[in-house]
Copies of this chain bind each other. A is one copy, B any other.
Amino acid sequence: MTPTDPGPEATPPPPTRRRPGGRTARIRQQVLDAVVAELGEHGYDGLTTDAVAARAGVHRTTVYRRWGDVGGLLADVLDAASDDDWQPPDTGSLESDLAALNQEIHTALTAQPPIMAALIAASFRSEKAAEAQQRLWEDRYARCEIIVSRAVRHGELPPHTDARQLLIAATAPLYHQLVLLRTTSDPQLPGHAARTAALAAAAGAFAEPPSACSV
């Protein structure tokens, strides 16, 4: 659904939907499923390439050769999560689209086992995981820009609206409270953060100058 995660049904990351088939793809899937399962059970500290190989039923040298280390495995889990056809919710208005998006983020961030939270935590341990996490967030925010362009088309927002800033304003409070501040989950939070961003947007907070050459 969101920055770190492929969809509401998809924590843990789903099988890649357009699986090309074949033995290589099958092994990749087995290994990535094993990474997610091990991460959910033991967290980053308990994650080893040997345990992943054993769980996936593949030879440990296969894992070493293809993924290198735990960071490489986590990076591939995150990269594989973009390989889906997820689209942000289309509910008819800016605020309700943002609320539905936030609800997906909230669900993923509070899921048990906490796969999304563990992947974010892992990005503070492994540079490869950090880069893959950035790519995934970039992919998710880019896909979400359609929420803003729909709102522009419906006349809810001015034509020159900074979509990325609006989406970050709408979603950041969830990550801040649940990942950094580690406050207890508040079921009102997704809707409230969406409403705040929509009100700010209506007041012109994300309006860009109409044209660069008009200055």
Contact = CB atoms under 8 A, between A and B. Distances in A.
B175 A176 contact: yes
Interface string A17-42: 00000000000000000000000000
A3 B177 CA distance: 12
A192 B166 CA distance: 11
A119 to B, nearest CB: 11
Given A121-B124, A124-B125, A179 B177 contact: no
A169 B205 CA distance: 13
A177 B173 CA distance: 12
B200 A196 contact: yes
Contact of A200 (B171, B177, B180, B200): B200
A94 interface: no
Given A171-B176, A172-B176, A182 B125 contact: no
A118 to B, nearest CB: 10
A195 interface: yes
Interface string A174-186: 0111011110000
Task: Please tell me how many copies of the chain the complex holds.
Answer: 2
A199 B195 CA distance: 12
A92 B168 CA distance: 27
A151 B82 CA distance: 44
A125 B121 CA distance: 8
Contacts of A120: 180
A199 B192 contact: no
A195 B195 CA distance: 16
A134 interface: yes
Contacts of A70: none
A165 interface: yes
Contacts of A121: 124
A111 interface: no
Given A130-B182, A195-B205, 15 more contacts: A121-B124, A124-B125, A137-B180, A137-B181, A165-B173, A165-B192, A168-B173, A171-B176, A172-B173, A172-B177, A175-B175, A196-B197, A196-B206, A199-B200, A199-B204
